[in-house]
Structures are given as C-alpha cells and as structure tokens.
A and B are shown apart, each in its own frame.
Chain A
Amino acid sequence: MFVTITMTMGWITYSKKPHPIEKTLKVLGPSDASYVKMQDNFNAQYKILHPDIEIQYISFPWNNIWRKLEFLIVANIPPDVSNIEQPYLPQFVHMGRVEALDEWMKNDPEFDASSLYKRCLDEGNWNNEQYALPYVFSPVCLWYNKTLFDREQVAYPTRDWNLDDLVSAAEKFTRDLDGDGIPDQYGFFTNNNHWNRYSPFIWMRGGELFSADWKRCTFDDPNVMTSFQWLADLALKTKASPKPIYLSSITSVNLMLSGRLAMITDTRYAMANFYLEKNKDKIKNFVFDVSELPHDKTRASCFVVSELMIPSTTAPERKKMAWDYLKFVVGKEGQEVVAKEDQGLATRIETAERMVAHPGRMPEHDRAFIDSVEYSRYCYWPFPADEQWFATRSDLSSVWNGQLQAEPVCRKGAAGMTKAIEDFSRFHPEKELPVHTEFVPFDKRSGPALADARDETQR
C-alpha cells in the first residue's frame, strides 16, 4: 500500500502541465530581489510588445549562478538569454559558449549600436567580436556630505580637484569630537577591498593591472605600487581616512549616514542605502551630493555593468527570439524600465540623459555619473589568475592595515598571477586567452583584425 501511494505521488509530481516551448523565452538571472523586480517590469513591458511570447525567469542564487549556466549549456538545456557578469564573460567566450552578436547587430536595421554608450559596449567586446550587450551600469563617483562641508567651511569637491586637493580637504575634517584623543570624524574613506574602488586610483596614475594581452600581471609596475601605497597611506600617514579595521563592524555608508564621514567613493547603487526605510530619519539631517572623481595624470573611473548574452548552443530558431528580447532590453522601452528602477544608469544614451535628473531629490549633481562615463571602464582580471587574485587581495589587507608595505606584496602578487596564467596556457595551448577589444561601428570597419591594444587616447 505504501508502494502504491508513493508511485501515485510520483506520477502526480511527474506529470507536467504542457507549455509551448516555442513561445517561451528562458532568461537566466540572479535571484536578488532587485533583479527579480526589474525582470518583472521587463516581462510586463515585453508582453505589451510581443503578446504571444512568455518569459520564464530562471533565478538562481548569486554565488553559484555561473555553474548553473555552465551546467545548463553542457546538458543541452541552455537558457535563451542569460545575465553575465564581467569576470565570467571572457571565460565563457574562451570556451566558445557565447554567441557572437556582430552579425545580428549588423543585419538588424532596428538596432542602432550608436544609441548605447560606447564605453559600455566595449565591455562586451572580445577578440573583435561583440559578445554581450550591457543594459544597466554605474560608474564610481565621489559622494560627499554637503552639510559637513558647510560646517567645516571647506569648498565642495569639483571635477578639477587632483589627488592632493582631495587629501588636504579630507584632512580638514578629521577631528576628535568627544575629547578622548582619538578622532571620531574623518574626511575620506574608500573601501579598498573592492576592485572597483582602488582601480580608478591606479589608472589615474597611468598604471595598469594586467598587460593588454593578459599574459602578464603588471602589479609590479612602479605606478601601480605607488598607487597602492598611496591608498594605504591615506589612513596611515595622512589623517584623511580611518584604518579599515575600525570599520569592520560598520560600513562606510553607515558612517557617512551618521554624519561622521565627509566623502566616500561608491557607485550609484549606494543611493539605495541612503533611501532605505531605516535610514530615512538620518538623511533628514544632512545633504549629500555627488561629484566626479578627482584626477591625477589622467582621469579614470571604474564602473560596474550588467550584461546579457546568448549561449551559442541555443537552437537557431530560438536565437531569433533571444535577439528580439536583447534588442528590447537595450532599446527604448527596456531602458526606460531600467531608468525607472533608479538604481543603475541606463546604457542607452538618450534615456540616461533624459531620466537621470530628479530635481528636488538628492543627489543634485546626478549628472556626474554620466559625465564620468567617457573615462570609465571595467576592471578585468584574467580568469586563470582567479585564485591568486584572491590570495593577493587578502595579502593587500595587511597593507591597508600598515602591517606590510605595498611593494613586496605587489611583487609577490604579480609573480603569482603571472605564473597562474602561464600554467593555464601551458595546458591549454590550442587556444589563447581572449583579448579585450573595442567596439567599432560597422560603417567604420575596414579590413581584417584591428589593433587589440587599448586605445591610447583612453589614458
């Protein structure tokens, strides 16, 4: 009897309601609430334009989503469209799992590549082929507490500041408030454990983290080593920043919200924190604003971007459906959904320009994000060096705390990562690592392969 019960249960659970596969679009993405919400809005909008197609969002927790994608592709049940985060895109490209989009873009009259920010498009361009289209991004800018600036009577940051201006202004804020000899209020802090915080400061000085062909790690470049040391000295030598160890239980954003930190660097997603329910009363007490990052020898900033790609093993007839969806997301209607979410910026130029301004709501100079796009880029690291990258990162935390100097750590990290890349190449000699290239508009393309080095004018 027990047997029959289980068997009937099995048949019940086994039988599925049939849905027409040809009219269902499978999209893979993270299961974070913000992504799910955005996807719901996409679905609603898409239904208006294509009423017969149903979108199925396969959501998966963030930490394992790339394994899931790989598994689905290998097992021959790939999603039609997938989110992809940058460090993994070159890896999937190397394995040949990503559909090249150049042909689709060229042959589709409705798609206009120039409507998207070129810098964002570049991020999906490898080996002179476009592999992914960006749909939401956010550069890093300088957030500052206007009220505190007023109180201490320091001039607001502008885009013409250089790094010395930044340090001297920040030092004016550092002071001891309750008389115990230890400062409670600081001027500037950047969370150096995150690559998108320290990479702008390195690029500004002209340093690069990896060689253009990804064969070598250039952490031991003098510019890079000086930048890391400068970042550490912000807390150790100058009085501008607190030591990171003190912030282990309170984040920089929260410190800023308590009115005790004047400037931080962060992406536009930080705004979500400011407008959280629980912080509403805190921000009544101060005014915050945004400015572009200061510059050194050149201008540089880092951005985060989310992209969509099409797995190459999807059936050809479904690829058309997938391409239509991709077109929609980076087109006018999809980008309006993104802009309405108000977390990241829309990658479509016209939408971003039109919808970024929110008069009467902080930050006032929201445009700083858009202005900084032209010199922003993503921070890549070659995927064979993943393990070593994380090991170097944990070594670097000793640098931020003043236990070690930046130079030996950087040299060790460079050697380790270069060796990891060499080992990888030795056992995969048939295929080179993919090279990051730039998107070139179709009408400007002349013959075969273009230069693969990064454009010198970006420096």
Chain B
Amino acid sequence: MKKYEESRWSGGRFREALAGYGFISGNFLGFLVFTSIPIVISLYLAFTEYHVLTPPKWVGMRNFKEILWCHYEDVPVMEKVKTADGNEFEQIKMKTVTNPDGTTAQAAETVRKLRPNDYNFWHYSYNTVFLMMGIPIGMALSLSMALIMNQKIRGITFWRTIFFLPSVTAGVAVYLLWTWIYNPEQGLLNLFLHHTLGYLGLFPEDHAKWPQWLGSANLAKPSLILMGLWIGAGGYNMILYLAALQGVDPQLYEAAMIDGATSWQKFVHVTWPLISPTTFFIVVMGIIGGFQGGFMQAYVMTEGGPQGSTTTLSYYIFNNAFTWFNMGKAAAIAWFLFLVVFVMTILNWRFGGKKVNY
C-alpha cells in the first residue's frame, strides 16, 4: 500500500485532482470572470475617473476625498422667519456693508465653516444606517412569533404558510402594492386609520393634514421600516428560530421549572443562550444585507425619497454608476461600503462569537 501514498502526483491522486479541476471548471470560470477579476478591476476603478467611453484616467485618492473628506467654506448665516401661514422659512441673514465709495449695499453674512465635500454621501449613509434599525425590531418580532408557534397543533402549517406569504412574494410587485397602500389620499393605511382612529377623534378630518407617509421627509423612512417588518416578521427568520427552538432539549425547561423559574427567567436563561447561534447568524446576515439594501425600495417606491431621505448608499451607487456614469466615484463608494461590511462582520465575529457560548 505504500506505493500508493508515495507521491502526491501518483496516478490515482493525479486523476482525482484532474477530475477535481475539471468539475469545477465551469463554476470557476464564472467565479473568475464575474466575481474575482471584477473585484480587482473595481478597486482599480475606484482610483480613476471613468465614463466608459473614454479610457480611465488615474486620479488617485480624489474620489475618496470627494466622498469622505471636507473643506472650509464661507457659508452664509441662516435665520428662521415665520411665513404668513405659520410655517418657517430659512433665509439668509443680510447685513449692510459700506462700499469704498460711500454707498451702502446689502450683503450676506458669512461664517467660515467646515463642510463635507459630498454632503449627500453622509446623508445617504445616515439613511442606510437608519433603515437598519428595523433589524432588531424584526428579530424580536420573529422570535416572539416563533415562540408562540412552537406548539403542536394540527394546522400549524396553515398558520405558518400565511405568515410566510409576505416574504415569499417580496419583490417589486409587493413594493408597488405598498406604494399604493401608503398613498395619502386613497391608500389603505390612511383610510383605515381614518376609519378607526377617526371615530375616536384621534385622526384629523382634513385630508390635507393626513400623514403623507412616503411623501413626507420625516415619515418616509419609518414607512419603509414598517413595510420591511411586515414582509420579514413571519418569514425566514421565524423559520430559523422555529428550527432552533425545536432543537432545545425540553429537559432543560423541566429542570428550570423545578428550580422554580418564571417564564421570563426561563426565556432569558435557557432559551436565549441556546438559540444564540441563530441570533448571531441573523444579525450578521442582517448587517451584510442591510448595508447593501434599500435599493429596490428607493427605486420603485420613492425614486430616492422626498428630498433624498430614502436614498440608501446602494441606490446612490446605482445612480452614480448607471445614471450619471461616474464609474470612478461609484466604485469608490462601493469599496467603502465593502470595507464597512467587512469590518462590521469581523467585529461581530469577535464580540458576537462570545455570545454563542453557552
């Protein structure tokens, strides 16, 4: 038998290696051409200015400076005035200056401030992070659903199917449906609230005062979070939690009950640690997805939102790359996003990994 293990490249192993390479060849080709080489190319593009038709021009750190850095600027001082109908308007504060020839003129008061180079970038990053706030809420919701569904009843499949329907259908069609639901005049949400809360007098009668949901800069993001919760509450996360819960040994619960623990204590000390791998997985996936997400909602529902309040980084990248064809800047933002996701995942692994101990 020894001679079969002599050389790594003896007949059998060689054939196996060849077969191995052969089998993965198609996949590997795809991997090379569509994943690994593009990663390198986009890193190169991030340091260039590139508009597809002309060759890329090396500009070094300019793209990154444009999105991440700041500069000093003379900014006019703003003051708030009240309009005739009680709204506020921010106008420029003027002061009188005397010209060299003695006449006076009005000029704006300015102050030297540090301004970000690309204010939009920071605004959109804030949007992206804000939208990720729905992840813990969704997790809690899915967990409670799973806890309640963890019972042996006939017909539990029926309920599970119903709860899972929103996630399965998620996509452009559901976003269009929710755009219509969020319509302030004729959509289901406002009409329903008017019907129910209106009877109690909590909802304004005047159609103009109804919440504008996707049309209001303040409410647009919470609306998206709400929709995300609806789609995700009974979905994948719940199934994962169900599976995890079913893996918990019932003897542990009995032991806890013997010790006289209340249900809350049972949850905190028995259930939660035992399902922490699933929690960890969901959090990591949520972070990875959350940073890259929000594109479809922004594109289909709000076109970036009232005054840019629903634009996420991935929609910004899309616009830079495929609407204005600023490939360089788009690649720079994409790589920034990748680095952030990478760092967050590593951090999560480090610190979250500890939670997985039980």
A and B, direct touch (CB closer than 8 Å): yes
Interface residues of A (CB under 8 A from B): 67, 70-71, 73-74, 95-97, 313, 395, 398, 402-404, 408-409, 411-412, 415, 427
Q: In the bound complex, how far is the Cα of B59 from the Cα of A427, in angstroms?
A: 11
Please state if B83 and A408 are interface contacts (CB–CB under 8 Å).
Answer: no
Chain B 66-90 interface 0/1 with A at a Cβ cutoff of 8 Å (1 = within): 1000000000100001011101011
Chain B 12-46 interface 0/1 with A at a Cβ cutoff of 8 Å (1 = within): 00000000000000000000000000000000000
With A313-B53, A411-B108, A415-B108 as known contacts, state yes or no: A74 contacts B325, CB within 8 Å: yes
Interface set, chain B 315-333, CB cutoff 8 A to A: 322-323, 325
**In the assembled complex, which residues on chain B have CB atoms less than 8 Å from the CB atom of A96?**
53-54
Please state if B66 and A427 are interface contacts (CB–CB under 8 Å).
Answer: yes
Interface residues of B (CB under 8 A from A): 51-54, 62, 66, 76, 81, 83-85, 87, 89-92, 94, 108, 117, 322-323, 325
Please state if B94 and A403 are interface contacts (CB–CB under 8 Å).
Answer: no
Please state if A398 and B89 are interface contacts (CB–CB under 8 Å).
Answer: yes
**In the assembled complex, which residues on chain A have CB atoms less than 8 Å from the CB atom of B92?**
408, 411-412, 415
Please state if B53 and A415 are interface contacts (CB–CB under 8 Å).
Answer: no
Please state if A408 and B91 are interface contacts (CB–CB under 8 Å).
Answer: yes
> Distance (Å) between the CB of B290 and the closest chain A CB?
27
Max count, chain A CB within 10 A of own CB: residue among B66, B81, B89, B94: B89
Q: In the bound complex, how far is the Cα of B85 from the Cα of A97, in angstroms?
A: 48
Sorted nearest first, the 8 A-B pairs with minimum C-beta distance are A408-B91, A403-B83, A74-B52, A403-B84, A411-B92, A415-B76, A404-B83, A412-B92
> Distance (Å) between the CB of A228 and the closest chain B CB?
14
Chain A, Cβ-Cβ closest to B66: A427
With A398-B83, A403-B87, A412-B90 as known contacts, state yes or no: A74 contacts B66, CB within 8 Å: no
Please state if A411 and B94 are interface contacts (CB–CB under 8 Å).
Answer: yes
Q: In the bound complex, how far is the Cα of B87 from the Cα of A402, in angstroms?
A: 12
CB<8 Å pairs between A and B, sample of 9: A95-B51, A96-B53, A398-B89, A403-B83, A404-B83, A408-B81, A408-B91, A409-B91, A415-B76
Q: In the bound complex, how far is the Cα of B318 from the Cα of A67, in angstroms?
A: 13
Q: In the bound complex, how far is the Cα of B81 from the Cα of A176, in angstroms?
A: 35
Q: In the bound complex, how far is the Cα of B322 from the Cα of A95, in angstroms?
A: 15
**In the assembled complex, which residues on chain B have CB atoms less than 8 Å from the CB atom of A427?**
62, 66, 117
**In the assembled complex, which residues on chain A have CB atoms less than 8 Å from the CB atom of B54?**
96
Please state if B53 and A67 are interface contacts (CB–CB under 8 Å).
Answer: no
Q: In the bound complex, how far is the Cα of B65 from the Cα of A411, in angstroms?
A: 30
> Distance (Å) between the CB of A274 and the closest chain B CB?
31
Q: In the bound complex, how far is the Cα of B93 from the Cα of A412, in angstroms?
A: 10
Contact of A70 among B87, B94, B325 (CB under 8 A): B325
> Distance (Å) between the CB of A411 and the closest chain B CB?
5
